[in-house]
A and B are shown apart, each in its own frame.
Chain A
């Protein structure tokens, strides 16, 4: 008798291998895996969202109404604002959604603006002006100045800057390279994580089966192409 943990491991491994068959070619097994993943993710998100509304707003509103507590009744406001967002789908009443969007934007900007200026402007300038005692600090300052000069499009200023904007371009290219290399490293880590969960018995035995199915399909296709 297979226990639940083994069954879930076998199902997840089958789906992982089905999705990886895209590396061979587009096929129904890949599409089944893809659709199941999208469906499960959306289903999970919807259920969690409904629970969130229930726990964070609906229950508090219910308690507020039964006890006559204004702080609880106040939860009706965010709930109405949330419903208003759905008017985005109606061309006639779209303007009503703007109330919620405007509020979301206003709260978001007002919350983040102070911190953003302190962290991304003042903090970064302070960091760039660190004592030039190490090669790292010198390289950091040169990199910041040159990269900023690259975005100065005024002709006279560009002439005055000489080769610095060009150095800035190389600094930006190096940064992009670091981003790209990190992205590849990240994707590899995901594959490693997936393989780690697959290389466990009995899931491990599904790998040669998958390879055999792919090889058989390749042979059949080759024969039919020749015929």
Chain B
């Protein structure tokens, strides 16, 4: 069987193998391709850099297994950046059922319990059911909505929560998500209290968020794996995303090559006919 016959009969399988190799090789042996930093990522970085001691950062941890590869590296990078800021209070909250699992995993991965004091520097509120109604409740009065944190400790026993009562006390909110809850934070925290909002999003959600970024309604967006890689470089802690970007860039080159090859193939076939 000639190469042309193989390509004609099993072209899908050939493409899959080529894609697998283009992804696998840089993952096993990283190339170190440059990752230019976008304005949207820089917006989030600069905002966190500007936080002072006593400022409150609310982090929407709406990560799930389906979006883990895109959003979790962003989440880790931003949390690491926040943990490095002295005196900044971190409130983790989730509106997806898997959110607490990923938040706990991230806190352990970053060794947060040994770097900061729970209840003084950071608090994990866990999953709050009710989507936009829950976010509205959080913005209006956290203590009326919740009595205990994720681990069942009363909020009144957590010193930092005494000064955090509603959205007026939030300095920034960064929501990591692939669903509509980014819109909910805009509707409830930004529209009603003027809280500064930023997003960490999956690639498919990014075009939606650009409308808000262009209109100056959000201070930044971390865009999928590429945004995570940019953020990892900004905080000088290359991780999973930076390694992944080599693979993604090579796969994109493969796509371009396949599109060109496909068109050349069609043109030559037409000429033969």
B248 touches A119 (CB 8 A): no
Q: How far is the CA of A24 from the CA of B14 in the complex (A)?
A: 10
For residue A48, which residues in chain B have a CB less than 8 angstroms away from its CB? 97, 127
Binary interface profile of B, 248-273, with partner A (CB < 8 Å = 1, else 0)? 10011001000000000000000000
Residues of A within 8 A of B97 (CB): 44-45, 48-49, 52
Tell me which residues from 129 to 177 in chain B have a Cβ below 8 Å from any Cβ of chain A.
129, 132-133, 136
Q: Which of B214-242 contact A (CB under 8 A)?
A: 214-217, 224-226, 240
Q: Assess the B215–A115 pair: CB atoms within 8 A.
A: no
A216 within 8 A of B: no
Q: Does B204 contact A (CB under 8 A)?
A: yes
The minimal Cβ–Cβ distance linking A191 to chain B, given in whole angstroms, is: 6
- Other-chain residue from A123, A190, A199 in contact with B24 (beta carbon distance below 8 A): A199
Identify A111's interface contact among B24, B133, B214, CB under 8 A. Answer: B133
Asked if A128 is an interface residue, CB under 8 A from chain B, the answer is yes
Give bound CA distance, A44 to B136, whole Å: 27
Q: Does B207 lie at the interface of the complex (its beta carbon under 8 Å from any beta carbon of A)?
A: yes
Q: Are B226 and A185 in contact (CB under 8 A)?
A: yes
Contacts of A102-125 to chain B: CB distance below 8 A: 107-108, 111-112, 114-116, 118-119, 123-124
> B residues engaging A (CB < 8 A)?
12-13, 16, 23-24, 27-28, 66, 68-70, 72, 97-98, 127, 129, 132-133, 136, 183-184, 186-188, 190-192, 202-204, 206-207, 211-212, 214-217, 224-226, 240, 243-244, 247-248, 251-252, 255
Q: Smallest distance from the beta carbon of A225 to chain B beta carbons, Å?
A: 12
* Contact yes or no, B13 A182, CB < 8 A: no
Q: Which of B23, B72, B248 contacts A185 (CB 8 A)?
A: B248
- CB of B192 within 8 A of CB of A115, answer yes
Beta-carbon contact of B214 and A140 below 8 Å: yes
CB–CB B203/A186 < 8 A: yes
A123/B244 in contact, CB under 8 A: no
> Is A188 interfacial (CB-CB < 8 Å)?
yes
Extra pairs beyond A44-B97, A130-B215, A190-B69 (5, CB < 8 Å): A119-B217, A123-B212, A184-B255, A192-B248, A196-B240
**How far does the alpha carbon of A119 sit from the alpha carbon of B23 in the complex, in Å?**
40
A52-B127, A112-B132, A116-B187 known; A124 vs B215 contact (CB < 8 Å): yes
Is the Cβ of B69 less than 8 Å from the Cβ of A194? Answer: yes
**Which residues of the partner chain B approach A128 to less than 8 Å between Cβ atoms?**
215
Q: Number of A interface residues at 8 Å Cβ cutoff, please give it.
A: 43
Contact A192 B191 (CB under 8 A): no
Assembled-state Cα–Cα distance A48/B126 (Å): 12
Interface of chain B, helix or strand or loop or mixed? Answer: helix
The docked-state distance in angstroms from the alpha carbon of A199 to that of B28 is 7
A129 to chain B: closest CB distance in Å? 10
Contact residue among B129, B211, B244 (Cβ-Cβ distance under 8 Å from A196): B244
A209 within 8 A of B: no
Query: Which chain B positions have C-beta within 8 A of A107?
Result: 133
Closest chain A residue, CB of each to CB of B72:
A193
Bound-state CA distance A112–B187 (Å) is: 6
Q: Is A6 on the interface with B (CB-CB < 8 A)? A: no
A residues bordering B, Cβ < 8 Å?
23-24, 44-45, 48-49, 52, 56, 107-108, 111-112, 114-116, 118-119, 123-124, 126-128, 130, 136, 140, 175, 178-179, 182-186, 188-196, 199
- Check A111–B132 contact: CB distance below 8 A: yes
Contact with B224, one of A23, A119, A189, A194 (Cβ below 8 angstroms):
A189
Residues of B within 8 A of A179 (CB): 204, 207
Which of chain B's residues have a CB closer than 8 A to the CB of A193? 68-70, 72, 225, 240, 244
Residue in B70, B136, B188 whose CB lies within 8 Å of A186: B70
Closest to B187 in A: A115
Provide the bound-state CA to CA distance between A196 and B224, in Å. Answer: 16
With a cutoff of 8 Å between Cβ atoms, the chain A residues found around residue B188 in the complex are 111, 115
The reply to whether B203 and A189 form a contact with Cβ atoms under 8 Å apart is: yes
Given contacts A189-B203, A190-B69, contact A119 B212 (CB under 8 A): yes
Top 8 A-B pairs ranked by shortest CB distance? A193-B69, A127-B215, A115-B187, A186-B203, A115-B191, A189-B225, A182-B203, A118-B191
- Give CA–CA (A107, B188) in the complex, Å: 14
Determine how close the nearest CB of chain B comes to the CB of A70; give it in whole angstroms.
15
How far apart are B5's CB and chain A's nearest CB, in angstroms?
13
